[in-house]
Chain A
Amino acid sequence: MNTLPQQLANGLFLGSMYGLIAIGYTMVYGIVQLINFAHGEIFMTGGFGALTVYLLLPDGISMWVALPAMLIGGALVAVLIAVGAERFAYRPLRGAPRLAPLITAIGLSLALQQAVFNWYHVDGDAKTARVFPQLPFGPLHIGSVTVQSGDIFLIIAAPLCMAILALFVRLSRTGRAMQATAQDPDTAQLMGIDTNRIIVVAFAIGGFFAAVAGVSYGLKYGSVSYDMGFIAGLKAFTAAVLGGIGNIYGAMLGGLVLGIAEAMATAYIANIPGMQQLGGGGWASVWAFVLLILVLLFRPQGLLGERVADRA
C-alpha cells in the first residue's frame, strides 16, 4: 500500500484536481490581476450542481448516463456563478483599490458557503457532507498501484481539459485576444478587442474547470460538503502561485508538484528519525503551505512565472 509508486500516483491524482481548480485562479489573475478568493466556492457549487442533477434523475439510473448530465449541470451552475460574480461583484469595483475586490471575494465566498449549507440543510439532514454517487467499477490494479474509480475519471478529465485549453489559447481568435488582454489590456482595446468580453470568458473557463474538479472531488471522496472549497481553494491557489500565477501551464504543473509533495510528505516524513509525529494525513496541509512559503522566498515568480519586468 505504502509503496513509492502508489504515493506518486496518489499525489498525481490529487495534484490533477488542484491543477484544475488552479486554472481558474491563474486565468482570472492573468487578465484582471484579481485573486478570486471565491473560486474555491465555485468549485464547491460545481460539485453540488452535479449532485443536484443526480438527485433529479430517476433512481437507479446508470452512472454512465448520469455522469455526463451531472457534468453539464455542475458546469452550468459553476459557470453561471463565476460569470455572475464577475458581472455583479467584481466589475463594478474595477479601478477601485485592490483591497475592495479582495474583501468582496471573501464575502462572496462566505455567502456561497452559507447558501449551499442552508439549501441542503432543509430536508432534516443535518450532516454537512452529502453522499456523492460513485462510478460502478472497482479499483484498477496496475502493478503495485491501486487506482480508484474516481481517480480514473480525474486522470482522463484533467489532461483532456488542459490540452483543449492550451489549444484554445494558442490557436483561437478569442485565445489570442486573451493573451493580448493579459499582456496589455489598454492596447488590446486599441486592437478592437472587447476586453470586458475576454474577462467574462476567463471567468467562465475557470468556472468550467472548477466544476470538473468539483465532480472529480465527489467521485474521489464519495461526498461533497458546503465547506469543501475552503481548503481545496487554498491549495489550488497555492498551486497557481507555485507554478507562476497568470500562467496556465504553471497552474497545472504547480498542482501536480503540490499534490505529489503532499503525498510524499504525508507518507515519508514520519520515517525521518525524530520527526515521527509530523507524518500522516493531518500534516498534509502543513507541508503544502511550507512549500508555498519556500517558493515565495526563493522563487517568488513561481516555477514557470514570467519576470515582472517585461510587463512595463
Chain B
Amino acid sequence: MTALLEVEDLRVAYGKIEAVKGISFSVEAGQVVTLIGTNGAGKTTTLRTLSGLLKPASGKVVFDGKPLSGVPAHKIVALGLAHSPEGRHIFPRLTIAENLQLGAFLRKDKAGIERDIQRAYDLFPILGERRKQAAGTLSGGEQQMLAMGRALMSQPKLLMLDEPSMGLSPIMMQKIMATILELKSQGTTILLVEQNAQAALSLADQGHVMEVGNIVLSGSGQDLLHDESVRKAYLGED
C-alpha cells in the first residue's frame, strides 16, 4: 500500500539559505503524523512547500498518487490537501460564516457546504454563536478554531495543522488538542506541526523530530515520548 503523502529528499531554500535539507517521510491514510522541533527547524517551511506556497529546490512530493511538483497552491487544495497556517491567518474583516464559506471555495454542493458549516459550529459552538461577527474580533483560541474549521470545509483527505497551540492559554490548548483527537477518531488524516512536543507526540501515530532542516529522529509517538534524547531536548527534563 502506498501512503497518502510521500515526501522524498525534499529540499527548500530561501535564496542561498537552505531551510529544509533533504527530508523524507510519509503519512498513511487515517494516521496522525507530527513534526516536532524548535523554532527554525524547518517545520513550517515544509508545510508551506507541501501546500504549494513555496517552491522546493529539489525532491519529490506525491500526494494521493499525484506528483505535486509545479502544481500551484490553489490547485493543490483541490486535490484534497488542506493547510491551516501558522498564526491562524483567518480573514479578519470577513465574518466567521464567510471565513468558513471561503474554506469551501472550490465546492459546488450548497447543501453539503451548509451541513459542514453546521458541523463546524457543532465542533466549536462559540463559532456558531458569533457567526455574524468579524473574525478579527475573535480571541486567539477562537481564531484557531476558525482556522481549523475553515480548513476542514474543503473536505480534505489530509489536514495540515501548523502550530495550532501557539500562543494559546493552557485551557484553550487542551481544547484544541482534544479536538484534534476527536478528528483523529473520526478518521481524519492529519499532519501536525507543533512546538509543544508532549501534546503532539501523545496523540500522534508517527513522529519526526526536526533540527535545522533535517529529520534527526523518527518513531511512533509513544516511542518518541519515552525517548531519552527527546525528553531532554524537547520535554524539558534533565
Contact = CB atoms under 8 A, between A and B. Distances in A.
Interface string B80-94: 001101000101111
B93 A187 contact: no
Interface string B131-163: 000001000000000000011001000000000
Interface in B53-111: 53, 72-75, 77-78, 82-83, 85, 89, 91-94, 98, 101-103, 105-106
A205 B91 CA distance: 23
Given A173-B105, A177-B102, 9 more contacts: A176-B94, A176-B98, A176-B105, A180-B91, A180-B102, A190-B83, A190-B85, A190-B151, A193-B74
Interface residues of B, number: 27
Contact of A191 (B53, B92, B103): B103
Given A184-B91, A310-B92, A192 B106 contact: yes
A287 B78 CA distance: 53
A184 B102 CA distance: 12
Interface pairs A-B: 6 shortest CB-CB: A189-B73, A192-B106, A192-B77, A187-B89, A191-B105, A310-B92
* A contacts with B: majority SS: helix
Contact of A187 (B85, B101, B106): B85
Interface residues of A, number: 20
20 contacts: A176-B101, A180-B91, A180-B94, A183-B93, A188-B102, A189-B52, A189-B72, A189-B73, A189-B74, A190-B53, A190-B82, A190-B85, A191-B103, A191-B154, A192-B78, A192-B105, A193-B105, A194-B74, A310-B92, A310-B93
A216 interface: no
A262 to B, nearest CB: 31
B91 A179 contact: yes
A268 to B, nearest CB: 39
Contacts of A186: 53, 73, 85, 89
Nearest to A197: B74
Given A177-B105, A180-B102, A190 B51 contact: yes
Contacts of A195: 74
A180 B93 CA distance: 9
Contacts of A180: 91, 94, 102
A191 B89 contact: no
Interface in A174-221: 176-177, 179-180, 183-184, 186-195
B46 to A, nearest CB: 15
B78 to A, nearest CB: 6
A146 B51 CA distance: 60
